[in-house]
């Protein structure tokens, strides 16, 4: 059965013995049937939320030279500023401007695996221009890290696992990431005469375990795709965060937890820009593709719902990569070609071969199997489906 609305869960119900069982039951249904949900009463300080929204918006008002001084392609880490139209999803340009941040890590050693380049220091805007930006966002990342850890333990309990069921997949100094995103309206993009909605970000699935989206302006535009292929609106609800289940969690639970395809449409003409601040819970890049032993009764409940099919590639497949970090690096290279071309030319060349092969099959209208070679030399079958970029963070 396809969902038609996005469930809203009150997190305070998880704190009381009398309401926790019902909360876990509701959470389990959201995990198995939807893969998208709102959570309220998160205990994140409202003043802190107001501060990150105001500082986030102020970042985009900086002069171009100040933003370009910390652009993403400066470093191997995929952290930093991306200008408007610099990212691709599902072979189309995303009309958004953004900066990527993470929990701080030192530059990796020369002998570290290549994917450890993702663990690096942030590129911060000039403090003389935005003196409160860094401390405010460091505080928010810390607060969200605690929330994500707490919520992951509830996910484990909802799946009839111990609260510590996922702990082995985290590093002691686990990296989590955050984006600050601005989506201009279509009149600002010069698209208002086309009659078609602009692509803020195209259909994709988030990576790692869970994502927590703060919709930082009142604009609609976020949509999740149900089993029938319909797009369901996820409008802003004050006092909530939108939680998206990532591909990592789907892989670690044998597909029990649904990683749901979603997208953002550009605001309509005259609405002004939409802002959002998603936080992405990380998982150890050194983790292998072992999975948790989800109880049989939970897996059977999932099986009765039917198979989810969409046009977005599921990258986190057991046997395709040795470590989660390899899949994550590959996906980041797919999303940010300018960074990949500069720092990872061999991976970028393989990605270009795969894109060319996929497009050729699509153009011929074939439904036969197509082969795409990935960065590790393994093969996968596309079955004629259109390749789409996975949002990896």
Q: What is the pLDDT of residues 156-189, one digit of tens each?
A: 999 999 999 999 999 999 999 999 999 999 988 8
Q: Give 145 or 248, the one with higher predicted confidence.
A: 145
318 confidence band (pLDDT: 50, 70, 90): low
| pLDDT for residue 92 | 78
Q: Whose CA is closest to 58, among 135, 133, 161?
A: 133
Phi and psi at residue 269, to the nearest 5°? -55, 130
3-state secondary structure of 219: coil
| pLDDT for residue 356 | 60
| 317-335 burial: b if 16+ Cβ within 10 Å, else e | eeebbebbbbbbbbbbbbb
| pLDDT for residue 291 | 83
Q: In whole angstroms, give the CA distance from residue 19 to residue 156.
A: 17
| pLDDT for residue 391 | 43
Q: In whole angstroms, give the CA distance from residue 92 to residue 18.
A: 49
Q: What is the pLDDT of residues 324-367, one digit of tens each?
A: 899 899 989 988 999 999 999 999 999 998 766 554 544 555 44
Q: Which helix (H) or strand (E) holds 223?
A: strand 222-225
Q: In whole angstroms, give the CA distance from residue 214 to residue 237.
A: 10
206 DSSP β-pair partners? 391
| pLDDT for residue 157 | 98
Q: What is the pLDDT of residues 55-91, one digit of tens each?
A: 999 999 999 999 999 999 999 999 999 999 877 677 6
| pLDDT for residue 390 | 38
140 confidence band (pLDDT: 50, 70, 90): very high
With a cut of 60, say whether residue 388 has pLDDT above it: no
| pLDDT for residue 309 | 61
| pLDDT for residue 304 | 86
224 DSSP β-pair partners? 232, 262
Q: In whole angstroms, give the CA distance from residue 346 to residue 354.
A: 13
| 53-86 burial: b if 16+ Cβ within 10 Å, else e | bebbeebbebeeebbeebbbbbbbbbbbbbebeb
Question: Mean pLDDT over residues 104-109, rounded?
Answer: 93
Lowest average pLDDT, out of 219-223, 238-242, 389-393, goes to: 389-393
| pLDDT for residue 194 | 60
H helix runs in the chain, sequence order: 20-29, 46-60, 64-68, 133-158, 186-189, 247-252, 296-303, 324-335, 337-343, 345-364
Q: Percent of the chain, pLDDT > 90?
A: 68
Q: Whose CA is closest to 54, among 127, 115, 136, 139?
A: 136
Q: What six digits make up the tokens of 82?
A: 């991306």
Pair 224, 261: CB distance under 8 Å: yes
Cβ atoms within 10 Å, residue 42? 20
| pLDDT for residue 247 | 87
241 confidence band (pLDDT: 50, 70, 90): very high
With a cut of 80, say whether residue 387 has pLDDT above it: no
| pLDDT for residue 89 | 73
Q: What is the pLDDT of residues 372-386, one digit of tens each?
A: 333 333 233 223 323
| pLDDT for residue 263 | 96
Long-range contacts of 19-23 (CB under 8 A, 24+ apart): 23/154
What sign for the dihedral angle of Cα 84, 98, 6, 268?
Answer: negative
Question: Mean pLDDT over residues 277-302, rounded?
Answer: 91
Q: What six digits make up the tokens of 384?
A: 């004629």
222 DSSP β-pair partners? 264
| pLDDT for residue 368 | 42
Residue with tokens 């990258």: 315
Q: Please provide the distance, in angstroms rounded to a whole number, between the alpha carbons at the two ends of the chain.
A: 30
* Residue count (the chain): 393
With a cut of 90, say whether residue 53 has pLDDT above it: yes
With a cut of 80, say whether residue 371 has pLDDT above it: no
Q: What is the DSSP letter of 68?
A: H
């Amino acid at each position: 059965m396809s969902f038609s609305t996005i469930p809203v869960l009150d997190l305070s119900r998880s704190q009381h013995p009398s309401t926790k069982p019902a909360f876990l039951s509701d959470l389990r249904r959201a995990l198995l049937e939807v893969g998208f949900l709102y959570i309220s009463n998160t205990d994140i300080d409202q003043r802190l939320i107001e501060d990150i929204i105001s500082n986030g918006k102020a970042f985009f008002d900086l002069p171009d030279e100040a933003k370009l001084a910390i652009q993403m392609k400066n470093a191997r880490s995929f952290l930093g500023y991306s200008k408007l139209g610099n990212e691709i999803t599902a072979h189309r340009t995303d009309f958004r401007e953004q900066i990527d941040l993470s929990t701080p890590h030192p530059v990796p050693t020369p002998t570290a695996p290549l994917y450890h380049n993702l663990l690096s220091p942030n590129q911060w805007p000039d403090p003389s221009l935005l003196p409160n930006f860094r401390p405010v966002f460091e505080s928010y990342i810390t607060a969200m890290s605690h929330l994500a850890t707490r919520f992951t333990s509830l996910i484990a309990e909802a799946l009839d696992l111990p609260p510590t069921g996922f702990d082995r997949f985290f590093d002691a100094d686990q990296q989590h990431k955050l984006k600050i995103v601005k989506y201009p309206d279509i009149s600002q993009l010069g698209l208002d005469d086309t009659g078609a909605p602009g692509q803020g970000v195209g259909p994709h699935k988030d990576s790692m375990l869970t994502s927590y989206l703060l919709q930082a302006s009142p604009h609609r535009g976020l949509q999740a795709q149900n089993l029938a292929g319909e797009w369901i609106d996820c409008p802003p609800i004050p006092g909530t965060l939108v939680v998206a289940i990532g591909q990592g969690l789907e892989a670690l639970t044998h597909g029990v937890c649904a990683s749901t395809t979603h997208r953002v449409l550009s605001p309509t003409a005259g609405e002004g820009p939409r802002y959002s601040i998603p936080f992405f819970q990380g998982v150890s890049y050194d983790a292998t593709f072992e999975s948790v032993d989800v109880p049989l009764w939970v897996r059977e409940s999932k099986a009765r719902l039917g198979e989810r099919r969409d046009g977005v590639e599921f990258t986190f497949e057991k046997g395709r990569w040795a470590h989660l970090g390899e899949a994550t690096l590959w996906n980041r290279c797919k999303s940010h070609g300018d960074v990949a071309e500069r720092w990872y030319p061999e991976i970028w060349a393989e990605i270009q071969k795969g894109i060319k092969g996929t497009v050729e099959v699509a153009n011929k209208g074939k439904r036969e199997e197509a082969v795409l070679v990935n960065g590790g030399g393994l093969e996968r079958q596309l079955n004629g489906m259109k390749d789409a970029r996975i949002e990896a963070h």
